[in-house]
Amino acid sequence: MNLIIDAGNTHVKLAVFKNGSIVYNSSSAVVDLIEKAKEIYHKYPQIDWAIVSSVVSLDENDIDALTVFFKVHVLNQHTKTPFINRYATPKTLGVDRIALATAAYYYTAHKNTLVIDAGTCITYDLITEKGEYLGGAISPGLQMRYNALKQFTSKLPLLSLQAPDKLIGNTTESSIHSGVVNGVCAELDGIIDQYRSEFKDLTVILTGGDTLFLSKRLKNTIFALSNFLLEGLNYLLDYNKL
């Protein structure tokens, strides 16, 4: 059994995999990570390995504490990957994008695949039918766009995500919702169309925190897979155990 740890800025996702399937899934604050890992260990003593993926560096003391319970692999740019990495600056490639590319490599083997991760940022990652990772794009996510309108203007309010009632906003608030949500959806559909014009039989996978919200609003056919990154991390852990 494997323990998967995906740590963000304030929260961490934890999942237990058995024979390639998730049997446990939860989240906690980063400060509670060790206590949560200890709780999981007592519930699933068969876990022997854990993988840690962190967009911000976890304290070394946290990693050391985890090794009390499991053998730990910390995902970084030196981790072995099953795909051929064609990224021009592999040392700068985010660990989240490495995990997503790995998930795509196994999920749609020998097919052109575009993975879109809609979270704090929106990332686009392409794996070709030859198993080559080419890169993609990074743009601001939904909430980041709301935050930017507040931060970089003097009078616009900070709003939370909300589906616009119509295309044309007739108040400041409805105009912001229309601009942010419809703008992101137009970006996603437009980018997908561009990739499909270059890569035949393209499979598109949407994942990340805003998956459910966005998947209902796209014109293109996609696969919405909320646990795709966790699955990629599990594949990477198994691949690096060998």
| pLDDT for position 8 | 80
Confidence band of 11 (pLDDT split at 50, 70, 90): confident
pTM above threshold 0.75: yes
Q: Give the chain's mean pLDDT.
A: 95
Catalytic residue numbers, as ranges: 96
Q: Tokens representing 21?
A: 């399937």
| pLDDT for position 41 | 96
| pLDDT for position 55 | 80
**123 is an annotated ligand-binding site residue:** no
**pLDDT tens per residue across span 57-89:** 678 899 999 999 999 999 999 999 999 999 999
Q: Which domains does the chain have, with CATH numbers?
A: 2-74 (3.30.420.40), 84-233 (3.30.420.40)
| pLDDT for position 126 | 98
Would you say residue 174 has pLDDT above 90? yes
**12 is an annotated ligand-binding site residue:** yes
Q: Tokens representing 147?
A: 């935050």
Measured distance CA(106)–CA(230) in Å, rounded = 13
**189 is an annotated ligand-binding site residue:** no
| pLDDT for position 194 | 98
Percentage of the chain beyond pLDDT 90 is 91
Q: How far is CA 218 from the centre of its chain?
A: 19
The whole-number average pLDDT for the span 187-207 is: 97
3 state DSSP class of 49: strand
